[in-house]
Structure 1
Amino acid sequence: MPKPSSTKKVKTIPVPKSIRIDLTGHQYGRLTVLGFAGYRESAPMWKCQCDCGTVADYYRCNLRSGTSTQCVQCRHADLGVRSTTHGQWGSPEYRAWEKVRQSDNVCKRWQSYENFRKDVGPKPSKDHQLSRKVTTSAWKPSNVHWVHRDNVVQQKSNSHLIRFRGRTQTLTAWAREVDLSPAALRSRLESGWTVREALTTEALH
């Protein structure tokens, strides 16, 4: 994608004192950080401009982990080119792979869709989704299975154990301890935050 001659002038928010590192001006792949964009589900967001000129907001953790390196349009264009090698673009398995790759805790083997498809097999039905057996461990062949959606909520509440500073508790127990809602804590973890970041970053009230 061609790089625009200059960055766009967009409205940003003054960086609050609680943000320890100002990312303004930093470059992450094709993305240039224009400024602070506020919070989403208690997670700090940064407004970025892609080399193609598209401006959008991104999670700090996804920028710093390398998960977000370009806008959605450029990403889809790249994926469209790569999909010609396997003809699976848009399939249920391919969409599952795209979602898995948004995490910063994915095994190197699954950088390849072909490897992912070989390991997880076909989606059993439209009512199934790919889930980790141990939610705090990486997305890898030995730690995933297809789960019927009716069992997902029950599985999450029973198996989402988090270990931090030598202690292991359920997500709900940790959320209560750090004064977050379980939904907010889950959102942080699913957005790519590390356990330390998720449990020690103060929520914006």
Structure 2
Amino acid sequence: MYRKKIQRKVFFITKHGFSNKERLYRIWRNMRRRCNSPKSDYYYNYGGRGIKVCDEWDDYLNFRKWALRNGYSEELSIDRINVDGNYEPSNCRWATREEQANNARSNVNLTYKGVTKTATGWARTLGITKSTMFHRLDRSWTIEEIMTIPMGGRRTKESPKAKVYLYNGKFKTLKQLSKIKGIHPDTIRHRIKIGMKIEEAATKPLSKNQFA
């Protein structure tokens, strides 16, 4: 068994010319898995929504060449400019986690009285800042509250519908997630805001200088 494992590894290096230890290769492999394999934990949010990897990037060497010519570095991850679009050169860039989180939030579609726009589009229409719009979304304001309360205004009461997140196949509120590892809901909310996956945000231990 050990000998077979060594042979497979040698074949892989000979075929592509790069080790699977290369971070860029793992990014490419995981990108394709999210879009092509129903067994992937994240398939429901990629391939399950019809998102595909372009034919050109089925070849790792083509993807690698594009990445190195378009700003790839070890600190960045691949990001789709249009979160409903495919993985292809015209729709992808290299971004930090915070930039990715802001891009995903900016492209959230909201429908009010039959009109659908992105969150940033509605912010411009309503005359409020993007940060105000994101604050309202993060705090689970209802669509009616978001659209009718002016900049600087407050809700008269808390929204009865708490925002929920999919965790291990079940929907949970931040308060419920906080009970998993005793991490404060605001800490989990902040982690999600900067781009952490929900599983990591709810379970990653706090550093010594942090408080739950």
TM-score category of the 2 structures, normalised to the smaller one: 0.3 to 0.5
TM-score (norm 1): 0.40
Greater relative contact order: 1 or 2 (C-alpha under 8 angstroms, separation 6 or more)? 1
Greater strand share, 1 or 2?
1
Which structure is higher in helix share?
A: 2
User: Which has the greater radius of gyration?
Assistant: 2
